[in-house]
Amino acid sequence: MFEGEFSVLDGNCTDGPAAFQLPNPDPTNSGVTTYSVWARALGKPNRSGTMSTCADLMTVDPITGEELLTTYCSVYTLTLERTKGKSSFGDVSKYLLYIYADLNADGTLSGIRCLIRRFKDISGIITIRA
């Protein structure tokens, strides 16, 4: 994913990763997004899928100057279940626009913006229950 105006750079994830270009959903990191992500489950009824949002963070060791790549995944996992009847979209912004991770092992979760699936030009307020 790349930051910029809305654009699908490579929509075919069957031959490798899909690539999107998206604006920052929460430029002030306030929990109020400028757009929302909506998803629904399709396919045979009584099946489900899960998704965890992860991101790589590059840091530099202050002593050695060595670049370190660390992958952080959110503690919140999105689960979508296909039930019988017509499926409907739900707001999944909390799961796909932020990563809630304990970055410095102090027991406090920090939100980092990240990845998406479907977008609506609707602002929203993201609430977290600890």
Least confident of 17-21, 34-38, 84-88: 17-21
Where do we find the tokens 């489900």? 48
Q: What is the pLDDT of residues 90-114, one digit of tens each?
A: 999 888 888 887 767 676 665 544 3
Q: What percent of the chain has pLDDT over 90?
A: 6
For residue 59, which of 68, 47, 50, 49 has the smallest C-alpha distance? 68
3-state helix vs strand vs coil in the chain, percent to 5: 5, 45, 50
Q: Is the full-model pTM beyond 0.95?
A: no
pLDDT at site 48: 85
> What is the C-alpha separation between 88 and 108, in angstroms, rounded?
34
Q: Round to whole Å and give the CA distance between 113 and 116.
A: 10
Question: What's the pLDDT band for 116 if we cut at 50, 70, 90?
Answer: very low
Q: With contact defined as beta carbons under 8 Å apart, do 99 and 55 qualify?
A: yes
pLDDT bracket for residue 64 (50, 70, 90)? very high
pLDDT band at 18 (very low <50, low <70, confident <90, very high): low
Quickly tell me which residue has 């069957």 as its tokens: 14
pLDDT of residue 84: 92
Q: What is the mean pLDDT of residues 34-43?
A: 86
